[in-house]
Amino acid sequence: MERETLFVDILLPLPLEAHFTYRVPFKLNSDVSIGKRVVVQFGKKKLYSGIIMKVHQTIPSHANVKYILNILDIKPIVNPIQIRLWKWLSDYYMAYEGEVMNAALPTSLKLASESKLILNPDFDGNYDLLNDKEFLIVQALERHHIITLTEASKIIDQKKIMHLVKTLIEKGCILPEEEIRDRFKPKTESYVRLSEDYKSEKSLESLTRILEKRAFKQLELLLVFLQHSKFFSKSPKQISKAFLLSKSGLSSSIITALEKRGVLEVYQKSQSRLKDFAATKQLSSLKLSEKQEVALGQISNIFTEKDVCLLHGVTGSGKTEIYIKLINEYLKIDKQVLFLVPEIALTAQIINRLREYYGDKLGYYHSRYGNNERVEVWQNINANTKKSYKIIIGARSSIFLPFSNLGLVIVDEEHDSSYKQYDPSPRYHARDSAIVLAKMHDAKCLLGSATPSLESYYKTTTNKYGLVNLDERFSKVNMPEILVVDTVEAYRKKEMKSHFTKLLLDQIAEALENKEQVILFQNRRGFSLRLVCESCQWTPECTNCDVSLTYHKQIGRLKCHYCGASKDVPTKCPNCGGNKLVMKGFGTEKIEEELPVFFPDVKVKRMDLDTTRSKNAYLQIINDFQDRKIDVLVGTQMVSKGLDFDNVSLVGVMNADNLLYYPDFRSFERSFQQLTQVSGRSGRQHKRGKVVIQTAQPYHAVIRDVIDNNFLSMYKSQMEERASFKYPPFYRVIRISLKHRDYHVLNDGARYFTDLLLPKLGSRVLGPEYPAVGRIKNYYIKNVLVKFEINASHKAVKTIIKEAIKEMFQEKSYRYILIQADVDPV
Ligand code: ADP
Ligand code: ZN
Ligand code: ZN
């Protein structure tokens, strides 16, 4: 082993096709293994940390193979199953493996290219081995602690210093900062222990006698310490300084005095940032209803034959309680469980419900979580000890955690489009990836929803997935009563007050009178949709994007929802000079402001992207609503998802037409889902709730299906449409977006690209076409859609597309067109 020549193939966090082969210095031979991070030089200057994907002895064909510079991990941070998942994601979603690696690893584990140097803390200060230039750099580092490569090259007055840096790294004198030194620093806490001199009973006895006379408080503290650390028992406990102070009620100066006396020692212990939570309820105290019990039995049965099961349970049927019971079956056989939720807004409620039963077996993970916390969860799972989390609740990125022994994956609200990552690549669907991940672990996967996606439901009809229905609410409360108001007629009869019909206002009044709460749903944020000139219909547009701007009252400006740019509100129409500019359409902010006009004392809060930017804003709003500090919650789709409030008796949908007329093949399916979901927030536990839907299309088939709570009717009619227009789940879709700043280059390039595909794919290619918004952030966009039969080889199609993309890159005039593929767009 020692003298063998080993090579490693390294995955770098870069959008590049290949793995790169490096040679292993003999002295590191026994340390290399798959899944560890190594530092390598890539290109002329840059150092990267990459991951070892393969260890082998095949001599690469190219001549100058570089050595790896260092190994960062003692234990692999990525396991073989993860590597398989990355590979799958990269193939399936047409992303580079380096991009998948980037999405998968928390920032502090994926050390990016950097050019800063620090002194190696292990450097023994032996300068004899250094030449003059090396010495200068080490000296500079001793003085300044951190210098950049540029500074280093100035110090020694030499441009090419990479080699020198490399030697210095090899000699163990310096480290590239960030590549090497994890930014992740575990939090530490002070602990107290008895020093060696006083560990015998005899010495303690004589000590107590001294303290008794001269330092009573010190004695008191010592006794508290001995008692709580169970010092004389077989398994003494570690005691933190904070704990000792609070138990003794003494000040820290007493500890200092004992420290000075040489009795106690204070030491630092790394402390998990994640607080410990103990379970407060016994699992056996959770009694399922008869229907829930039956459903749970069916799921377990299905899992003996199939890997995936869809739980189709109406809103409020108590799916969560079924999950809670099911999870335990897997913990009993020592398996890990992953519980996916689509939005962070949802995690808070679910976590609290699961924590009651599972306490600190439960960890959570999502992108809004701080970097250090994420690394902690990662390492906790990777360590895979008795103390590691057994259940992870998380948003989509939690599929990337280093699970070694998954038994069950739950995908709650599986229909939700937030499971799809749009930007940056990999554009993966977390539900579909989770199914693949489960398969790799030989684990089971439970999808849950009140409004399943057509894709998942279809798979139950072809027997790929099992299906379990739960068609009754827990505690047998009826599904909410849904009232539909025709806004066209209301306008005609002049019964509209601003954006409220009389029916909706009456219902709100009644709910408020009964001290019940109300949710108002409007799928647009902002104050008013847009400004329009009454005489010429001019409307202000974003200068970077082809969309009209939205007025935001809070900032008193017009804002672009695509690029974030904002503008002052014009006083006159710049087109015709007219001065009658009116607001058209309405958003959440306007509703929030108007309500007090009708109900002066009402407490209104708004939940949308604008009000939930800060880390805990969601939680605050949800808690305030739960605690009834808010009467009416106005919100975008955020309020529609999975939340469980016990005092909401009315849900109002301000305008269903926005949903129905969104230009997308899924818009009817989505409308059904959103309307059903938001309705489902009404009257969950004790009393039948009400829903008022305002629409210009009261007889629209989707609205009817929502009223009747008839998923199957919507499913059937939509499936017919999908079949005849060749859409999922019968066909697969890959959307390729081409982007360029120059309109003409893009136009020609998109044509050229399409012509490359046509001979091979024929009528499966559609476009190029401008999307609904044809320019974003100054980039013109054209889309090409490839639709192909579900049974056709998707690998073959993807190869054809990849080749076309490569050819575009070789064509000089189109080289700079940005081409992005989105597989299974939502
Ligand atoms: P779903 O997720 O299916 O919409 P939930 O799981 O939120 O439904 O359940 C609806 C409500 O009924 C929740 O408040 C939940 O606590 C309650 N519930 C459901 N099942 C039980 C049960 N077995 N015991 C007590 N409460 C239950
Ligand atoms: Zn005008
Ligand atoms: Zn813009």
Gap from CA of 541 to ligand 3 centroid (Å): 8
Quick one: average pLDDT of 611-629?
A: 79
User: Nearest C-alpha to atom 20 of ligand 1 is from which residue?
Assistant: 318
Q: 93 versus 524: which is more confidently predicted?
A: 93
Give the pLDDT band (50/70/90) at residue 204: confident
Most confident of 204-213, 240-249, 777-786: 777-786
pLDDT in tens, 555-592: 788 888 777 888 888 888 988 888 888 877 667 778 88
Rounded distance from Cα 330 to ligand 1 centre (Å)? 21
Q: Which atom of ligand 1 is nearest to the CA of 287?
A: 23
Closest-approaching ligand to the CA atom of 541: 3
Give residue 573 CA to ligand 2 midpoint distance, Å: 5
Query: Is the Cβ–Cβ distance between 357 and 283 less than 8 Å?
Result: yes
Atom of ligand 1 nearest to the CA of 353: 16
Q: Are 722 and 728 in contact (CB under 8 A)?
A: yes
- Tell me the CA–centroid distance for residue 268 and ligand 3, in Å: 51
pLDDT given for residue 529 in this prediction: 63
Tell me: the pLDDT tens digits for 643-685?
788 889 999 999 888 788 777 889 899 999 999 998 988 887 7
Nearest CA to ligand 1 atom 15: 318
User: For residue 560, what pLDDT is reported?
Assistant: 82
659 CA distance to ligand 2 middle (Å): 29
pLDDT at residue 385 above 80? yes
pLDDT at site 483: 95
Q: Whose CA is nearest to atom 19 of ligand 1?
A: 318
438-414-332 Cα angle (round to 5): 45
The pLDDT assigned to 741 comes to: 92
Ligand 1 environment, Cβ below 6 A: 287-289, 292, 313, 315-321, 474, 644, 684-685
The winner for highest mean pLDDT among 148-162, 311-325, 347-361 is 311-325
Partnered with residue 606 across adjacent β-strands are: 634
Question: What pLDDT does residue 182 have?
Answer: 40
Compare 265 and 537 and report the one with higher pLDDT. 265
Q: Please tell me the predicted confidence (pLDDT) of residue 272.
A: 52
Q: Atom 5 in ligand 1: which residue has the minimum CA distance?
A: 318
For residues 163-167, average pLDDT: 73
Of ligand 1's atoms, which has the minimum distance to the CA of residue 288?
Answer: 23
pLDDT of 191 reads: 86
Per-chain mean pLDDT for the chain: 87
Name the closest ligand to CA 563.
Answer: 3
The predicted model gives 150-160 an average pLDDT of 77
pLDDT reading at 287 higher than 50: yes
H, E, C per residue of 178-233? CCCCCCCCCEEEEEEEECHHHCCHHHHHHHHHHHHHHCHHHHHHHHHHHHHCCCCC
Name which residue leads in pLDDT, 22 or 15: 22
Q: Which residues of 739-748 are buried (b: 16+ CB within 10 A; e: fewer)?
A: bbeeeebbbe
Q: What is the pLDDT of residue 751?
A: 96
Instruction: Measure 370 CA to ligand 3 centroid, in angstroms.
Output: 29
CA of 582 to the centre of ligand 3 (A): 21
* pLDDT tens profile 464-495: 999 999 998 887 788 889 999 998 888 888 88
Taking phi first (over 0 means left), then psi (-120 to 50 degrees means alpha), and beta for anything else, what does residue 438 get?
alpha
Give the pLDDT mean for 350-365. Answer: 89
Mean pLDDT of 505-532: 83
User: Which residues are found with C-beta within 5 Å of the ion, ligand 3?
Assistant: 542, 544-545, 560, 562-563, 565
Whole-number Å distance between alpha carbons of 329 and 318: 18
Question: Looking at 237-246, 403-412, 708-717, which range is the least confident one?
Answer: 237-246
Task: Indicate whether 273 pLDDT > 50.
Answer: no
Q: How confident is the model at residue 371 (pLDDT cuts 50, 70, 90)?
A: low
Pocket test for ligand 1, best of 320, 472, 641 (most atoms within 8 A of CB): 320
Backbone angles phi, psi at 308, to 5 degrees: -125, 140
Q: How confident is the model at residue 2 (pLDDT cuts 50, 70, 90)?
A: low
Residue 183 has pLDDT above 60, yes or no: no
On the question of pLDDT at 427 being above 70, the answer is yes
- Whether a cis peptide bond, with omega within 30° of 0, leads into 60 is no
CB atoms within 10 A of CB 662: 14
Ligand 1, atom 27, residue with closest C-alpha:
318
**In the prediction, which pLDDT does 591 show?**
84
Q: How far is the CA of 537 from the centre of ligand 2 (A)?
A: 6
Q: Model's pTM, two decimal places?
A: 0.78
